[in-house]
Amino acid sequence: MVEKDDNVVFVGKKSIMGYVLAVVTQFNSGANSVIVKARGRVISKAVDVEEIVRNRFLPDVKLDNVALKTEELTSEDGSKSKVSAIEITLKR
Amino acid sequence: MVEKDDNVVFVGKKSIMGYVLAVVTQFNSGANSVIVKARGRVISKAVDVEEIVRNRFLPDVKLDNVALKTEELTSEDGSKSKVSAIEITLKR
């Protein structure tokens, strides 16, 4: 993947507002697009982040694309499991 | 909204496979499109449903659109709260 990592926000276990701040900061630093990524149960948190960024902080930012996919994870013991993932692309 | 309710699957607290079966049944009954809807934490379950339907059961079904939005809920005491929502449109 040729992708500038600084334009990607991975949503995980931290608070929603922490990720909102990360996205807003990237746009305010001049980014034209930011991709919000999440896997598994925190997919819903990624949607919260996107909605709060656009409705409360950056109304000029548009929802450019939403990709849904399945990723395969390999755990430490070598067993594999599948997990759903989302990639939300926001564009100014 | 002019929308045939029998082409909509609302994802809630039941098991993932129950919703997968509901979507597959609608397509097998002749539906050309099915919309998978979810609000709040079960948004990630809706993505699981979509991925399992397409990858395991109906590979000819395409992901047509993913809409993200915010809905306002009014609780019994009249207080309002906002919740993120997803609408995943699948097309044959």
Interface touch A68/B69, C-beta < 8 Å: no
What distance, in Å, lies between the first and last C-alpha atoms of chain B? 22
Could you state, in order of their start, the residue ranges of all structural domains in chain A?
5-91
- Tens of pLDDT, residues A9-54: 999 999 999 999 999 999 999 999 999 999 999 999 999 999 999 9
Give CA–CA dist A87/A40, Å, rounded. Answer: 12
pLDDT digits (tens, 9 = 90+) for B46-57: 999 999 999 999
SS3 B14: coil
What lies within 8 Å, CB to CB, of B23 at 6+ separation is B9, B34, B36, B49, B53, B90
Chain A positions in Cβ-Cβ contact with residue B68 (cut-off 8 Å): 47, 50-51, 63, 66, 88
How far is Cα B31 from Cα B7, in angstroms, rounded to an integer? 7
Mean pLDDT estimate for chain B: 93
Q: Is the pLDDT of residue A2 over 90?
A: no
CATH number of B5-91: 3.90.226.10, 1.10.150.120, 3.20.10.10, 3.30.110.20? 3.30.110.20
Handedness of CA B37, B41, B45, B47 (dihedral sign): positive
Model confidence at B4: pLDDT above 60: no
Residue B39 has pLDDT above 50, yes or no: yes
pLDDT at B12 over 70: yes
Cβ neighbors of B29 (< 8 A, separation 6 or more) are none
Report whether pLDDT(A60) > 90.
yes
Q: How confident is the model at residue B42 (pLDDT cuts 50, 70, 90)?
A: very high
Whether residue B44 and residue A48 make contact (CB cut-off 8 A), yes or no, is no
Contact A68 B66 (CB under 8 A): yes
Query: Is residue A68's pLDDT more than 80?
Result: yes
For residue B14, give every residue at least 6 positions away whose Cβ sits within 8 Å of its Cβ, in sequence order, or none.
none
The SS3 of residue A46 is helix
